[in-house]
Structure 1
Amino acid sequence: MYRRSCSAASAVGVDALAQIDRPVLERYLADLQATVSGQKTHGEFIGLVNHFFQTIRQHRWDDTLPTTAVFFAEDYPKRAKLLPRALAEHVMTQLEQPANMDRWHDPVGRLVTLILMRCGLRVSDALRLPLDCIIRDADSAPYLRYFNHKMKREALVPIDNEVEAAIAAQKQHITARWPDGSPVLFPQRTANPDGTKPLIDSSYRRMLNQWLAEVDIRGEQVALDPDGHLAEVAWAKQRLGRVTQALPNGFCGLPLQKTCPHANACLTCPMFVTTPEFLPQHRQQRQQLLQIVSAAEARGQLRVVEMNQQVLGNLDQIITALEADEPPGDTQAADAG
């Protein structure tokens, strides 16, 4: 940076700070545009020189530096838009095939990948899962308990039997290797005598790259059997990808920018009335809401989280009221108030 700046200044006959004005800076910008346009260093060269000017003024090293010797926000190159990081649906379909998952030689890497796919966690959150990361609700349904470091709060996400069984097997392995116990589900394997250090990102990514090399995903479309299991999974993913609110009998796909006077309004309406016979629907809807909120938190969709948190709170109150012991023959109903 220093040599480039000095070369640019000498090329236009500048040998003192007092001679640096806007035309000189524009020549410098033109030189950068011609030589490093599109490169990361383009903006860095401008920022470093601008910071140098600010430091001179801050410490009053040379008061002859003109006030016009400054770069503006418009002088910096526009950052190129990054491509979406999400995998294509047909690629995920191939990765999730049992035959490809069975290519994992490392059970730890397989379990981490399974959690990422099924639960939507970030890699950093998954690797730092506590050893006792499974809790159960009143119906004994298993949930994965983890700390969402981006949102800085604990979160829950429902899990299936396969994930639950794999976590139980991992806990047994950890207990066998570290009899005194380990606070994390995935301890680092080396330089970790007491098992307190979690697996680092680079270790998992190395395992992941080895697995992907064996799977050899080429991004080709896969024809799904309409009556097969994968077709059902693809259908569910397509629908759930557009979910913003859970409803008692389905989901709401209304754009978040719009307000619907009816979708889920019953659960926040003081005129809403329900009875114990609807408890199964309420419990099912609560599980769906928890899944939506957890997935939205993991993706940073604060609007979706906000929309469903109030509904979830009212639903908890309704379920509690309906589950309370009532005198025989009492037909009093619970409301959303």
Structure 2
Amino acid sequence: MARKWYRFKQYIFAKMPYLKDRNSLFYYALILIGIGIGFYGYALFTQYFTVPLGGDYTQQYVAFHYNFYDDWWTFFKTGKFVLWDHNTFLGADNITSNTYYGLFSPFLFPILLFPRILIPQMMAIMMIARMVTGGLFFRLYLKQLGVKESTARLFAIAYAFCGWISYYLWFNNFFEVISFFPLVLLGIEKILNREKPYILIVGLFLLGISNYFFLITICFYGVGYALFRFFQLRKKHTRKENWIILGWGVGAFAIGLMLAAWILIPNYLNAMQAPRAEDATYLISLKEAWANKDWETLKNLLFYDWGRNNSGESADYRVLYPFVSFFYPAISGRYVSLIPIISFENISGSIFIFTPSIMLLFVSVFNTIRKKKFSHLIPIAFF
């Protein structure tokens, strides 16, 4: 029996040699999964392996996933995709109403492989899968920048479990941003190093089908990031090569957007007619404050006042947020673990890991100056 077990192990190790290497990506992925389970651990082990967050998550997103599940299985069984969904009163356009909530999310499709009764459990598993995916992609991005393996893995963990996750625990469809955003950065770096533009195209497409809401913002940011990095690296290439790189970059952004246009354009046209869009007067208020030279209003519009909570009450306890979030993430977008309040400012949930990052930032700035890499100071000054 022992000999058979030994032969079996040797066979497995021969087929999968990475199992013998404790530093392999396989075990790193297991570490990410373990952290993800711990992140949701209390809910998973007390709520039948679900994460029943309050607010929009239980009131909307769980129900949406049942609806999406039924729509996709209708398509698989009949070959007809549900374009007009009658599950809401008189019905709604399925594309413009439900793609915002994840109808075409890549993380929806594994859920379809399991019985309908397990949807809440599978949603919890997909939460962890999003974090793990984001961490693995972010490691690739850092490696592309030349960061050593141990540092890349450490900061990939920090990225995968950053405050964005705490902020949007209850807003399930925003998770994809943390999963696919590193692909955009990685794709830009690949192009700047004269590699093929496929990763950038795929990254933009995945963002478009999973969360078009952030696609436009990321495109603006991506172009700014690409130009900054282009001017940093331009001397490493000939003039002809630089023009080729610019062409690849413009083409990749255009193709990525075109691949997602069948979702992006209908949703944009629909959103512009929505009451929320008509009531969105932030830009108008900014222009009026600037024209009237109302500097106080302008300051309040640009810099959110942290002096009061959502109920308008004094919130002096906010000075504790950096200290609390240094050790513990927010429980959700509404609650923090160490302060007994019911009106936690959810924006502040994204501070988690922020404090240690700021500590490292000062060291990085000093190191940048010491190595005379002054171009690194430009984005620091900008942001």
- The TM-score with structure 2 as length reference comes to 0.21
Instruction: Give the structure with the higher percent strand.
Output: 1
Structure with greater Cα Rg: 1
Structure having the higher helix fraction is 2
